[in-house]
């Protein structure tokens, strides 16, 4: 980015736009669920309105005109003249999507996306006969000064309430001493329902360098509510000597009020230029800068009444849930921090090991000091990781759009329900999840769900449902995509697999094995799928993308009831809690999250299933038994373990397996180091880490390891050897 | 000044020579990052036989190739006197396990002879050129062939 301050402001406008678009989507979703309350509609209106306002300030005409027309329609909805029917809301979604496209195109300097006219035309037919008023010229004269100071303007019926009439006229000293009229007025309005009018003298001079510091404006405030004079005086405590204040109970100064109203600036008076000018009218300008809502006034000058209402609503919202203070930080800086903390963890482990080697007892001060150091490091690491974590919500919103577009193109009615939007996942994971998720959502719409007629025939609602959910489970993130479609057509999948030579024609496959055929490379080809999901990518690409993130994907399907894809991902890509074990003289790390329990292997517990297959009985359950050393090829397959320690591990689908190890060394946190891609994906190995002695240990992916041992058609394995 | 360096660079090549068994090999010194003593490598399951494993190079995971196996000879035992030459070519960094480092040679470029077309021996493809230094034959290795092709090919 350049050093041009304007470019920076522009960039931050686009960041804001993204946030506004997000809240726009949210509100539309709420509306879609049947809530047509004023506040929700307001959120939609405000988001569009703010985008328009900002775009106007940057002279982004295309964006202004589009959002203006969108806004006009929303205004009709807001005023109750247009009923937000489901069809209308669908159109709103479409318009919001387009608005997003236009925002992005404008940001990147690309040409505007096509189809805007069609959507706008459709939108405007909603308005019926009246149609739209011709687009109003957007200029920056703030003609109506109906300021809003963060509270609702008192409703009319409140006029009978007791109240105060306050006149506040700053003197020169007020601004030079660093006080701010806006803040004072805001505090006033927090006391009760305040109506604030700015009094602008008729003979307001043109702004010049000389009068820049001369206060010319004053305010009249009508404050209603249970407020004592003392409360009001308190607001002016710090400025009492640099301004003129008149406080009188309401009703006693009717005459004055009448006089004042004459002074209230109406619209397009000569005062307007002055108000915008930073030099001559410091208070007004400061308001513009401080109060984001005021920027909207500038852009929305023609419809004075409307804009005041919009701003009031905006103020209500910000008042209701005060946004938490946030800082925008370069991702690079965070990553450096993450790396440094990672090094710190390794170093701390090395230190611990050398202290132990030096023969210092466990009761010594050094040891206890080291222990608290360890805890601090851990806390530090967790905090740093938290910075990188982000809610999956934006990702899910993108998927909502994919559903809308995909369902429209195949003529299906689809509703997407998202759950766990606020589940936090590492930023990198979110970014790299977008493509596979898009693909799977398209698949669900295209292949998963049936056409409305077929759904009706099957006794289901014609509207298909896709549920996209995220949750934390056992130290991992579980993302599920579930549709209520027809389920996997297993005979057909089998036929295709046989035809493509992926399985032998006489192969005996269980249902879940057939389902998993979908993940085989070469299963899906362009001729097999429609234009929508068929892009030459199959589910194997989805799977390798997920595996690349240290995740796993499983599929479950029930004929007639739907299909569910479960993606299980690590919370972070930087550290994990692991159990350090030994097998065949190698030190290996097994993620703690995968281990259910550990047990001792007794010869009597081993049961043979076949010549090579063994099972172990744990309590009343039989689980397949694998020798870790053998699975990794470190040990001869003829070696038969008769004793040792087993780790009982779980797979995503709930199946269990037991892994024989020689010894368990310790349980600790390890820093994940990528193995690099030099030798491809090693089955059963997720990554590597550096142990306290500086040696590299491999981090295992036990479920993959076991799968490598169970599924005969494991092509990855062959490819890698 | 710059001219002198350039002409020198064009005329001469600097090579790091090392020994595997009884044979002398060398690589372009510009690809050599550092030379390390032998450290035990962590073996990688399901990897080609010449991949000795991975070692910790100041916090990063470095694959180590047993150059002897890679060139079709017996594996190097991995003793104290063995060294790992860390080389980097085209973004790929790897360690080459060799018996011992011998010398740094500066030879005129024209003295490097192309290897004869020996045909079928796959290890011959790793040899870029041949050199005669003091009556001894030294093989110049082509690191691009030796190192694992990067992720594009494998993954």
Average pLDDT in the B120-125 region?
A: 64
B97: which residues sit within 8 A by CB, 6+ positions away? B38, B41, B52, B64, B65, B66, B67, B68, B76, B78, B82, B83, B84
Residue A516 and residue A490 in contact, taking contact as beta carbons nearer than 8 Å: no
Average pLDDT in the A593-613 region?
A: 77
B95 contacts chain A (CB < 8 A):
no
Phi-psi sector, A291: left (phi>0), alpha (psi -120 to 50), beta: beta
- Structural domains in chain A (count): 5
Low-confidence winner among A125-129, A307-311, B48-52, B68-72 (lowest mean pLDDT): A307-311
pLDDT tens track for A26-35: 888 888 877 7
Measured between beta carbons, the chain B residues lying within 8 angstroms of A682 are: 44-47
B91 contacts chain A (CB < 8 A):
no
- Nearest CB neighbour to B45, from listed A678, A684, A690: A684
Residues A410, A382 share a domain: no
pLDDT tens track for A559-573: 888 889 999 887 766
d(CA B67, CA B84): 10
- Nearest CB neighbour to B60, from listed A673, A677, A697: A673
Query: Across the strands, what pairs with A644?
Result: A601
A631: which residues sit within 8 A by CB, 6+ positions away? A659, A684, A705, A706, A708, A709
| B81 or A402, higher pLDDT | A402
- Residue A521, in any domain of the structure: yes
- For chain A, the C-alpha Rg in angstroms (whole number) is 33
Kindly state the tokens that stand for A610. Answer: 């076949």
How do B60-66 and B92-98 pair as beta strands? parallel
Please answer yes or no on whether A677 and B61 come within 8 Å at the CB atom: no
Please answer yes or no on whether B61 and A717 come within 8 Å at the CB atom: no
Kindly state the tokens that stand for A92. Answer: 């709103």
B155 contacts chain A (CB < 8 A):
yes
> In which band, very low, low, confident or very high, does the pLDDT at A156 lie, cut at 50, 70 and 90?
very low
Q: Is the pLDDT of residue A584 over 50?
A: yes
pLDDT tens track for B24-43: 899 989 899 999 888 888 88
Low-confidence winner among A80-94, A630-644, B55-69 (lowest mean pLDDT): A630-644
User: How close is the nearest chain A Cα to the Cα of B41, in Å?
Assistant: 8
Question: Residue A515 in 3-state DSSP?
Answer: helix
B59 contacts chain A (CB < 8 A):
yes
d(CA A694, CA A689): 9
- Nearest CB neighbour to A696, from listed B47, B61, B151: B61
Average pLDDT in the A440-453 region?
A: 85
Please answer yes or no on whether A675 and B59 come within 8 Å at the CB atom: no
Distances in whole angstroms, Cα of residue A286 to Cα of each of A30, A50, A180, A182, A605: 36, 19, 8, 7, 79
Low-confidence winner among A338-347, A491-500, B86-95 (lowest mean pLDDT): A338-347
How confident is the prediction for chain A on average, in pLDDT?
74
B:2-21 residues touching chain A, CB 8 A cutoff: none
- Nearest CB neighbour to B42, from listed A343, A682, A697: A697
User: How close is the nearest chain B Cα to the Cα of A358, in Å?
Assistant: 22
d(CA A632, CA A699): 12
Q: Is the pLDDT of residue A307 over 80?
A: no
Kindly state the tokens that stand for A353. Answer: 């090991």
Q: Is the pLDDT of residue A383 over 90?
A: no
Residue A598 has a pLDDT of 86
- Residue A282, in any domain of the structure: yes
Residue A718 has a pLDDT of 35
Average pLDDT in the A468-497 region?
A: 84
Please answer yes or no on whether A677 and B154 come within 8 Å at the CB atom: yes
DSSP 8-state class, residue B111: G
| A66 or A532, higher pLDDT | A66
Residues A586, A558 share a domain: no
Residue of B nearest to A544 (CA): B155
Question: Residue A596 in 3-state DSSP?
Answer: strand
pLDDT tens track for A408-437: 888 888 888 889 888 888 888 888 888 888
Helix H, strand E, coil C: the string for A437-474 is HHHHHHHHHHHHCCCHHHHHHCCCCCCEEEEEEEEEEC
Please answer yes or no on whether B47 and A677 come within 8 Å at the CB atom: no
Residue A611 has a pLDDT of 66
B88 contacts chain A (CB < 8 A):
no
User: How close is the nearest chain B Cα to the Cα of A28, in Å?
Assistant: 42
> In which band, very low, low, confident or very high, does the pLDDT at A288 lie, cut at 50, 70 and 90?
very low
Please answer yes or no on whether B150 and A633 come within 8 Å at the CB atom: no
Distances in whole angstroms, Cα of residue A386 to Cα of each of A338, A382, A423, B123: 10, 6, 12, 50
Residues A183, A64 share a domain: no
Q: Is the pLDDT of residue A670 over 60?
A: yes
Residues A537, A451 share a domain: yes
Residues A582, A526 share a domain: no
Measured between beta carbons, the chain A residues lying within 8 angstroms of B61 are: 673-676, 688, 696
Residue B134 has a pLDDT of 81
Neighbours of A472 (CB within 10 A): 13
Residue A480 has a pLDDT of 92
- Nearest CB neighbour to A695, from listed B42, B94, B150: B42
Residue A274 and residue A198 in contact, taking contact as beta carbons nearer than 8 Å: no
B90 contacts chain A (CB < 8 A):
no
> In which band, very low, low, confident or very high, does the pLDDT at A160 lie, cut at 50, 70 and 90?
low
Residues A546, A582 share a domain: no
Residue of B nearest to A346 (CA): B59
A475: which residues sit within 8 A by CB, 6+ positions away? A571, A577, A591, A592, A593
Measured between beta carbons, the chain A residues lying within 8 angstroms of B43 are: 586, 634
CATH number, domain of A509, equals 3.30.565.10
d(CA A61, CA A48): 14
Please answer yes or no on whether A678 and B92 come within 8 Å at the CB atom: yes
Q: Is the pLDDT of residue A136 over 70?
A: no
Kindly state the tokens that stand for A711. Answer: 């599924």
- Residue A709, in any domain of the structure: yes
> In which band, very low, low, confident or very high, does the pLDDT at A641 lie, cut at 50, 70 and 90?
low
Q: Which of A293, A289, A388, A377 is nearest to A341 (CA)?
A: A377
Q: Which residue has the tokens 């929305």?
A: A300
Residues A414, A371 share a domain: no
Residues A282, A167 share a domain: yes
> In which band, very low, low, confident or very high, does the pLDDT at B45 lie, cut at 50, 70 and 90?
confident
> In which band, very low, low, confident or very high, does the pLDDT at A481 lie, cut at 50, 70 and 90?
very high
Residue A297 has a pLDDT of 40
Residues A600, A551 share a domain: no
Query: What torsion, rounded to 10 degrees, do the Cα atoms A118, A119, A125, A126 define?
Result: 170
CATH number, domain of A591, equals 2.40.50.180
Low-confidence winner among A121-125, A709-713, B66-70 (lowest mean pLDDT): A709-713
Please answer yes or no on whether A673 and B61 come within 8 Å at the CB atom: yes
- Residue A207, in any domain of the structure: yes
CATH number, domain of A14, equals 1.20.120.160
- The architecture in CATH of the region B2-148 reads Beta Barrel (2.40)
Residues A678, A658 share a domain: yes
Q: Which of A698, A699, A692, A588 is nearest to A346 (CA)?
A: A692
Best mean pLDDT range from A115-129, A700-714, B3-17: A115-129
Residue B21 has a pLDDT of 84
Residue A306 has a pLDDT of 41
pLDDT tens track for A192-220: 778 888 877 777 777 777 777 777 788 88
Residue B118 and residue B63 in contact, taking contact as beta carbons nearer than 8 Å: no
Please answer yes or no on whether B48 and A632 come within 8 Å at the CB atom: no
DSSP H stretches of helix in A389-413: 393-410
Please answer yes or no on whether A685 and B44 come within 8 Å at the CB atom: yes
- Nearest CB neighbour to A677, from listed B51, B60, B155: B155
Residue of B nearest to A545 (CA): B155
Residue A533 has a pLDDT of 46
> In which band, very low, low, confident or very high, does the pLDDT at A121 lie, cut at 50, 70 and 90?
confident
Please answer yes or no on whether B46 and A698 come within 8 Å at the CB atom: no
> In which band, very low, low, confident or very high, does the pLDDT at A158 lie, cut at 50, 70 and 90?
very low
pLDDT tens track for A256-286: 444 444 444 443 444 444 444 444 444 444 4
User: How close is the nearest chain B Cα to the Cα of A494, in Å?
Assistant: 27
Measured between beta carbons, the chain A residues lying within 8 angstroms of B148 are: 678-679
Domain ranges of chain B: 2-148
Residue of A nearest to B91 (CA): A678
Edge-to-edge order in the sheet of strand B23-28: B100-108, B12-20, B23-28, B136-141, B127-133
- Residue A563, in any domain of the structure: yes
DSSP 8-state class, residue A323: P
Measured between beta carbons, the chain A residues lying within 8 angstroms of B92 are: 678
Range of the domain at A57: 5-130
Q: Is the pLDDT of residue A290 over 70?
A: no
- Residue A146, in any domain of the structure: no
- Residue A141, in any domain of the structure: no
Question: Residue B21 in 3-state DSSP?
Answer: coil
Measured between beta carbons, the chain A residues lying within 8 angstroms of B94 are: 678
Residue A708 and residue A513 in contact, taking contact as beta carbons nearer than 8 Å: no
Interface mutation target, options B38, B39, B44, B49, chain A, most CBs of A under 10 Å: B44
- Residue A497, in any domain of the structure: yes
d(CA A74, CA A82): 8
Residues A182, A114 share a domain: no
Residues A528, A445 share a domain: yes
How do A644-650 and A424-426 pair as beta strands? unpaired
Q: Is the pLDDT of residue A161 over 80?
A: no
CB pairs under 8 A between A and B: 75
DSSP H stretches of helix in chain B: 2-11, 67-70, 143-146, 151-154
> In which band, very low, low, confident or very high, does the pLDDT at B121 lie, cut at 50, 70 and 90?
low
Measured between beta carbons, the chain B residues lying within 8 angstroms of A721 are: 46
Average pLDDT in the A178-201 region?
A: 79
Low-confidence winner among A555-564, B44-53, B71-80 (lowest mean pLDDT): B71-80
Measured between beta carbons, the chain B residues lying within 8 angstroms of A674 are: 61
Residue A468 has a pLDDT of 92
Neighbours of A534 (CB within 10 A): 18
Residue of B nearest to A708 (CA): B46
Residue A497 and residue A517 in contact, taking contact as beta carbons nearer than 8 Å: yes
């Amino acid at each position: 980015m350049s050093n041009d301050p304007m470019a920076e402001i522009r960039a931050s406008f686009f960041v804001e736009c993204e946030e506004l678009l997000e809240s726009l989507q949210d509100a539309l979703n709420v509306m879609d669920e049947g809530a047509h309350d004023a506040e929700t509609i307001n959120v939609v209106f405000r988001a569009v309105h703010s985008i328009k306002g900002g775009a106007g300030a940057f002279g982004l005409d295309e964006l202004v005109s589009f959002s203006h027309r969108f806004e006009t329609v929303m205004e009709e909805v807001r005023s109750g003249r247009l009923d937000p029917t489901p069809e209308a809301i669908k159109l709103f979604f479409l318009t919001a999507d387009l608005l997003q496209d236009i925002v992005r195109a404008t940001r990147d300097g690309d040409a505007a996306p096509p189809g805007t006219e069609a959507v706008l035309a459709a939108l405007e037919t909603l308005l019926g006969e009246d149609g739209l008023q011709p687009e109003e010229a957007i200029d920056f004269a703030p003609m109506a000064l109906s300021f809003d100071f963060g509270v609702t303007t008192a409703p009319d019926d409140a006029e009978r309430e007791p109240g105060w009439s306050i006149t506040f006229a700053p003197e020169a000293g007020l601004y030079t001493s660093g006080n701010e009229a806006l803040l004072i007025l805001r505090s006033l309005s927090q006391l009760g329902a305040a109506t604030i009018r700015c009094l602008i003298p008729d003979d307001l001079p043109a702004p010049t360098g000389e009068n820049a510091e001369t206060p010319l404006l004053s305010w009249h405030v009508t404050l209603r509510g249970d407020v004592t004079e003392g409360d009001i005086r308190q607001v002016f405590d710090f400025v009492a000597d640099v301004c003129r204040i008149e406080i009188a109970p309401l009703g006693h100064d009717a005459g004055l009020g009448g006089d004042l109203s004459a002074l209230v600036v109406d619209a397009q008076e000569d005062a307007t230029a002055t108000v915008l000018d930073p030099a001559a009218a410091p208070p007004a300008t400061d308001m513009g800068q401080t109060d984001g809502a005021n920027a909207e006034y500038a852009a929305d000058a023609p419809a004075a009444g409307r804009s005041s209402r919009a701003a009031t609503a905006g103020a209500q919202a910000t008042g209701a849930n005060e946004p938490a203070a946030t800082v925008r930080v370069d991702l690079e800086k965070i990553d450096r921090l993450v790396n440094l903390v990672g090094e710190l963890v390794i170093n701390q482990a090395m230190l611990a090991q050398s202290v132990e080697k030096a023969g210092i007892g466990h009761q010594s001060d050094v040891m206890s000091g080291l222990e608290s150091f360890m805890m601090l490091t851990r806390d530090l690491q967790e905090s740093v990781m938290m910075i990188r974590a982000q809610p999956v919500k934006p990702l899910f919103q993108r998927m909502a759009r994919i559903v809308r577009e995909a369902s429209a193109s195949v003529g299906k009615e689809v509703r997407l329900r998202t759950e766990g939007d606020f589940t936090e996942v590492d930023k990198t994971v979110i970014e790299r999840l977008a493509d596979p998720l898009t693909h799977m959502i398209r698949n669900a719409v295209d292949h998963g769900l049936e056409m409305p007629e077929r759904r009706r025939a099957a006794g289901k609602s014609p509207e298909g449902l896709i549920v996209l959910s995220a949750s934390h489970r056992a130290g991992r993130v579980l993302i599920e995509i579930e549709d209520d479609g027809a389920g996997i057509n297993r005979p057909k999948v089998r036929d295709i697999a046989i035809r493509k030579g992926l399985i032998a024609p006489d192969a005996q496959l269980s249902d879940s094995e057939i389902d998993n055929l979908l993940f085989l490379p070469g299963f899906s080809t362009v001729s097999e799928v429609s234009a929508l999901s068929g892009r030459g990518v199959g589910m194997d690409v989805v799977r390798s993308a997920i595996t690349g993130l240290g995740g796993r994907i499983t599929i479950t399907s029930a004929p007639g009831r739907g299909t569910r894809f479960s993606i299980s991902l690590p919370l972070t890509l930087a550290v994990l809690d692991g159990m350090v074990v030994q097998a065949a003289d190698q030190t290996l790390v097994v993620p703690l999250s995968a281990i259910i329990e550990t047990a001792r292997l007794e010869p009597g517990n081993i049961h043979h299933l076949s010549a090579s297959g063994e099972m172990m009985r744990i309590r009343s359950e039989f689980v397949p038994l694998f020798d870790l050393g053998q699975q990794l090829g470190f040990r001869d397959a003829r070696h038969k373990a008769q004793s040792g320690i087993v780790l009982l591990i779980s797979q995503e689908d709930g199946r269990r397996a037991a892994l024989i190890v020689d010894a368990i060394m310790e349980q600790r946190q390890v820093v994940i180091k990528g193995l690099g891609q030099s030798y491809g994906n090693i089955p059963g190995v997720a990554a590597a880490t550096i142990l306290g002695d500086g040696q590299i240990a491999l981090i295992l992916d036990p479920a993959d390891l076991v799968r490598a041992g169970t599924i005969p058609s494991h092509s990855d394995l062959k490819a890698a050897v | 000044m710059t001219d002198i360096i350039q002409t020198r660079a064009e005329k001469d090549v600097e090579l790091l020579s090392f020994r595997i068994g009884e044979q002398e090999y060398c690589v372009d010194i510009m690809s050599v990052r550092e030379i390390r003593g032998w450290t035990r490598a962590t073996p990688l399951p399901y990897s080609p036989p010449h991949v000795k494993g991975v070692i910790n190079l100041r916090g990063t995971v470095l694959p180590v190739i047993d150059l002897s196996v890679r060139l079709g000879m017996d594996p190097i035992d991995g003793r104290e006197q063995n060294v790992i030459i860390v080389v980097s070519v085209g973004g790929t960094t790897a360690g080459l396990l060799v018996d011992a480092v011998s010398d740094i040679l500066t030879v005129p470029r024209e003295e490097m002879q192309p290897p004869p077309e020996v045909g079928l021996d796959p290890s011959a493809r790793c040899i870029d050129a041949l050199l005669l230094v003091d009556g001894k034959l030294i093989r110049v290795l082509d690191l691009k062939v030796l190192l694992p092709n990067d992720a594009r090919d494998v993954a």
